[in-house]
Amino acid sequence: MSLADLQAVATSWSEESWWIRRTLSAAVIGAGLGVVGSALQRYLNNDLADPYLLGVSSASLLGAVLAGVFFLPLLPLQLSSGLLSDEFALWVDGVRLAGALSAAVGVLLFLLWSQGRFYRSSGEMVLLGIVVNAFCGALILLLMSLDHPLYPRVDVGLLVGRIEAPGLEWLAVQIAVVFLSVSAIWSQRKGIAAAAYGFHVERLHSADPRRLQRALLVWVCLISATASAFAGSIAFVGLIVPHLARLAAPSRSFGHQLMSSAVLGAFVLCGSDWIAQRVIYPRVLPVGVVTSFMGAIALGWVLFARVRRGTPHA
């Protein structure tokens, strides 16, 4: 085998590895969003709940965008030869994740601090989340409006959703964070399922409903920050996937629905990314556009199916 053949094999592997990393990343983020959506919908007893409802996702997105705008340009990432350094990708992902996580932790602390001050019930917590969501959205719009056309510093891809092939280090972080969070949510499934029926029933399954709420917020924050940092704003996956899971197996337990949401979420996001890459090839669509489009159709179909079945909750 000649050197050229070896180079060809290496390049081919680079392309395949790119696809594997990209698909794995989409699957992990999709699974995380599906589980978070399912847990929040059950916990808040709100069919429209998703990671964006509490403002955590918007804040993470804002954090990731801010970090990209203000910190990345400060980093000396170009070699004297004009080529980018090998650490470039590691830095970009690290800075974005640090920004997203910092903002998510900020919102988490604010939500915890606000308990008893700004909200007492989960319904009021949702309202506060909408306030946070609107505030973060306004700041993102402000950044976009201050951006200039020839040197765009705001990563618009993050705002419309974009799946990337992360490096192996960050792929491992994604898998670890989502696996840990999903496992923790699954371990609290009885308390979350009981929360829909009020604190009295919840106490039968959990030591302290407030502790459960705090725990759930922590795991939601972790998954939302990871998803926002690596894929940006992925609309509808956290909202529609739990509905599809319930529609597929209405009589199953909440734990089963959580796992179904994880699997369905992974499939939905991988499929959406596949479509986004191919529908107008060689141009590429933002994956958020595909998930929104498919999500709107799927939500309409779920509503139709619910009305036909005559069930108030699918």
Partner 1 sequence: MRNLFRRGVRFLRVRAHFECDDHALVLVAAAAVICGITVGAASGATAQPVPLTESAAPRTTPVASSRIVSLAPAATEWIAALGRLDGLVGRTEDCDFPLQALAPIPTVGKFLSPNLEAVLRLRPGMVVATDSFNPSRLAEMTRSGVSVFLLNTATIEGLSESVLKLGLLLNAEKRARELVAQMKAARPSGQGVAKGARTMLAVIDLEGRYLASRDSFVGEIFADAGWVNLAPTAGAYPQVSELWLRGQRPKDVFVFQGGSGSRSEQVEAKVVSALERLWPQKLHFPQTNRPPDVAATQAETVRVIALPSDLFLRPGPRLVQAFEMLAGWRAVDRAGP
Contact positions with partner 1 (CB under 8 A) in 44-103: 68, 72, 75-98, 101-102
**Separation CA 259–CA 219 (nearest Å):** 16
The answer to whether 54 and 104 are in contact (CB under 8 A) is no
Could you say which DSSP state residue 53 is in? T
- Binding-site size for partner 1 (CB under 8 A) equals 79
Looking at beta carbons only, is 209 or 245 nearer to partner 1? Answer: 209
Closer residue to partner 1, CB minimum distance, 216 or 240: 216
Among 180, 249, 303, 305, binds partner 1 (CB under 8 A): 180
Alpha-carbon gap, residue 183 to 191, rounded angstroms: 14
Sketch the per residue contact string, 214 through 243, with partner 1: x for CB under 8 A, - otherwise.
Answer: xx--xx-xx---------------------
* CA separation for the pair 14, 18 (Å, rounded): 6
Could you say whether residue 263 binds partner 1 (CB under 8 A)? no
Binding of partner 1 by 275 (CB under 8 A): no
Site string for partner 1, 142-161 (x = CB under 8 A): ---xx-xxxxxx-xxxx---
In the complex, minimum distance from the CB of residue 271 to partner 1, in angstroms, rounded to a whole number: 16
Strand partners, 78: 84
- The answer to whether residue 184 forms part of the interface with partner 1 (CB under 8 A) is yes
What span, in angstroms and rounded, lies between the C-alpha atoms of 192 and 213? Answer: 9
Task: Fill in the per-residue mask, 293 to 312: x = in contact with partner 1 (CB under 8 A), - = not in contact.
Answer: --------------------
CA-closest candidate to residue 52, choices 306, 292, 253, 276: 292
Structure tokens belonging to residue 155 = 């990563």
